[in-house]
Amino acid sequence: MVCDHTRFIFLPYYRKYVPLPRRKKIIVSDIKLHILAIAAHPDDVELGCAGTIINHVRKGQAVGILDLTEGELGTRGTVATRYEEAANAAKVMGVAVRENAQMADGFFKNDEAHQRKLITYLRRWQPEIVLANALEDRHPDHGRGGRLIADACFLAGLSKIETTYNGLPQKAWRPKRVFHMIQDRLLTPTFLVDITHSFATKMDAIKCYATQFYNPSSAEPATYISSSRFLDEVASRDTLMGKRIGTQYAEGFICENFTGISNLDALILPTMA
């Protein structure tokens, strides 16, 4: 008897071959990312970690962005303008993909439903590194988003949590590290990334959000981030971070795990100590 042993198994008790259950086809990833930046609102990523993203895009690595909400509660602009601005900023940064999870701005929760939704994206793109919202910040969405992202990253690695994409089961995947950006509150970073050569492009990406930031001709209400000082304060923060490692500009990140380097020559040493 000719038997395809990949599809049948021999049961001695019954002295016959019986078919095995067919293995489920597993969706791996429609695009494999090295880094995925996830944040609550369109423009969070640009303000907090665009320089780091641009650094890695320039290295030829695949980087993506997932905005959790459409920013629909923002005082200025509309959902339509936020999508347009986010797309323009993505082009400036050169990212491979940018999508929106369409969670409720201001009201999304760190619960099973939202975790499962985020797990689907993580398994779809399989990032090695995730950049996330700060774990505490002025805007409550940032801290809640940071915790949601960190929890979903861990849960995405549990194979007994079943998710599907395009109607097919997904393979479990856990990012190797989650790094939380520093946003409005000047928190103490775990490490700093030199963005001296990407800072100008970062500011170009931020300025794509024309409805959100300072515009003297705008008739919309003034907000915390639309003041003439706000973008100068972003630059000042990055300057301060850079000063701490002897560079012109830097972005800070917080990691709940230890981070390691292969040797001391991987460190950025200041020109003058």
Contact 64, 131 (CB under 8 A): no
**SS3 state of residue 27:** strand
pLDDT tens digit sequence for 49-73: 999 999 999 999 999 999 999 999 9
Helix or strand holding residue 90 (H, E): helix 79-93
Report the alpha-carbon distance of residue 119 to residue 201 in Å, rounded: 31
Q: What is the residue extent of each domain of the chain?
A: 35-255
Token duo for residue 108: 């999304």
Q: Which CATH number fits domain 35-255: 3.40.50.10320, 3.40.50.620, 2.40.50.180, 3.40.190.290?
A: 3.40.50.10320
In percent, the amount of the chain with pLDDT more than 90 equals: 85
Report the alpha-carbon distance of residue 131 to residue 175 in Å, rounded: 10
The confidence score (pLDDT) of residue 27 equals 52
Q: Which residue in 118, 101, 92, 96 sits closest to 31, CA to CA?
A: 96
Average model confidence (pLDDT) across the chain: 91
- Stated pTM of the model: 0.88
Return the number of other C-beta atoms located less than 10 Å from residue 10's C-beta: 12
